[in-house]
Amino acid sequence: MTNIIISSLLLLTFLGFIFYIVKGGNLMIGFFIMAILWSIIGLVPLSVVMQKVIAEPALNYGSTIIYIVFGSWFGRVLVDTGIAGSISLRTQKLGKKAPVLATIVIILVTALIFSSAYGVGSVMAIGVILIPILLSIGVPLKVAIPTFTMAIGSAMYINVVLFNQIKVFFPTVSYSGKYLSFGITAMIVQLVGIIIFVLFHSKSIKDDHIDVIEAEQTSEKTERVNPITYVIPLLPVMFNLLFKWDAIPALLVSTIIALLLTGKMKSYKKLVEFINKTTSQAINDIAGLIMFLMSLIMFVGAATINVPRFKGLIEVILPHSTLVLAIAIGILAPLALFRGPLHVWGAGAATVSVLAATHTFNPMFLLPLFYTVSIMAVSIDLTQSWNTWSLTYSKLDAKTYLKMGVPIMWLITFINTVLVYLFFGH
């Protein structure tokens, strides 16, 4: 009887948390309050709360934060050396002659840059270059903005910074060849889906009308670099695949190569100034993210302790077939939008925490499955910070943005959840 009462109260607070998130509540505060609430409702002793909910989860997550720091610095170096901007501007000349082909190239360029770059700062730096280019070659605003944000989302399948955020829930899964074989395939599927989306609207791209936004001339200020540097965004992934390097040395060596090839090492004084500037900015970019992840990992600790309260209910409700679960998650993928119950950095944190702790399914299957539906939200959700910036910058209305992007992302996500089963579900 006690279990029924406690599990019912936990579910009620979970529903309340979903409502809080949908209404735009602060996630960091929300997860911390949920960690405390679930500890109290679950009758967890104070000493256990202090050790297992607050101290140990935060301390154990310290190594993952280092990955995020190095990834953020590498992304900032890509932007501040001019590598990312130079790659972007190379597409502009092609745009006047073949706008549809140029749009496809911009999609691929965006995915290339954000395979390593991360954060709203990097998106803003690249967005003020690429969005005006898309508009200047005749891509309608309602096509350009979802195309841009979905292309960023495609790269998140292999972005080490975002991957290490989902490891909060699945610490045993590594960013290595086994996962990357899926990640690269899923990224390609999403890119193909976006290209089909563009081709479907190709007639409107060829129209004479061109949408214009302010700050179109920002791209003129971008520093040019040697084209040999254009492969640098992919180096961390290549080092991992070819040499089995851990992400930290892969990112560090890639950063050093970027500094070397862009001439930042010619002067010791200027090199020190550049490193100080980019590291400071990189830490600043992720400061809020780190505190959010700290509150999230504390909630995961509380949810894990409460798993016995849910386990019987979960075993009754959940399918035991990986195929059925993959298809079900694919069909229900829009529930990840607005930080819903399938979004791991939203209300879905409770769903995933409890499910992972029951050990019903292999973490190597669950991580890419929930990562896939969360990337749908990262690609097209209004609660994703860089998507919000893109709408604000371009002045595209939210309803049009969702109407254009959600259907194609839903289809892409469903295909990728089936891929999860094919890669890891057997």
Residues 242, 271 contacting (CB under 8 angstroms): no
Provide the 10 A C-beta neighbour count for residue 222.
19
Question: How many angstroms separate the CA atoms of 115 and 21, rounded?
Answer: 28
Question: How many angstroms separate the CA atoms of 25 and 223, rounded?
Answer: 39
How far is CA 160 from each of CA 2, 115, 124, 175, 264, rounded to the nearest angstrom? 43, 8, 20, 7, 24
Looking at residue 225, its pLDDT comes to: 85
Looking at residue 220, its pLDDT comes to: 45
Looking at residue 88, its pLDDT comes to: 79
Question: How many angstroms separate the CA atoms of 146 and 193, rounded?
Answer: 12
Looking at residue 40, its pLDDT comes to: 95
How far is CA 292 from each of CA 16, 29, 165, 289, 299, rounded to the nearest angstrom? 19, 8, 10, 5, 11
Looking at residue 215, its pLDDT comes to: 42
Q: For residue 218, what are its two tokens?
A: 């920002």
- For 50: left if phi > 0, alpha if psi spans -120 to 50, otherwise beta; the answer is alpha
Looking at residue 209, its pLDDT comes to: 56
Question: How many angstroms separate the CA atoms of 286 and 132, rounded?
Answer: 27
Question: How many angstroms separate the CA atoms of 239 and 251, rounded?
Answer: 9
Q: For the whole model, what pTM was predicted?
A: 0.86
Looking at residue 211, its pLDDT comes to: 64
Mean pLDDT of successive 10-residue stretches along the chain, which has 426 residues: 82 87 85 94 94 92 86 90 85 75 93 89 87 90 96 96 91 90 97 97 74 50 78 90 89 95 94 95 88 90 84 72 95 93 90 86 96 97 91 92 96 98 94
Q: For residue 272, what are its two tokens?
A: 């020190």
Counting Cα atoms < 13 Å in the Cβ hemisphere of 260 gives 8
Extended beta strands in 201-288, E state: none
How far is CA 249 from each of CA 30, 122, 236, 239, rounded to the nearest angstrom? 35, 22, 9, 9
Instruction: Give the chain's radius of gyration (CA, Å).
Output: 22
Residues 208, 337 contacting (CB under 8 angstroms): no
Q: Where are the domains of the chain?
A: 1-425
Residues 158, 115 contacting (CB under 8 angstroms): yes
Q: 16: exposed, middle or buried (C-beta count within 10 Å: 0-12, 13-18, 19+)?
A: middle
Q: For residue 157, what are its two tokens?
A: 């399948």
Provide the 10 A C-beta neighbour count for residue 150.
28
Provide the 10 A C-beta neighbour count for residue 105.
15
CA-nearest of 325, 331, 329 to 348 is: 329
Question: How many angstroms separate the CA atoms of 407 and 419, rounded?
Answer: 19
Question: How many angstroms separate the CA atoms of 176 and 163, rounded?
Answer: 11
Gap between the terminal Cα atoms of the chain: 38
Provide the 10 A C-beta neighbour count for residue 99.
19
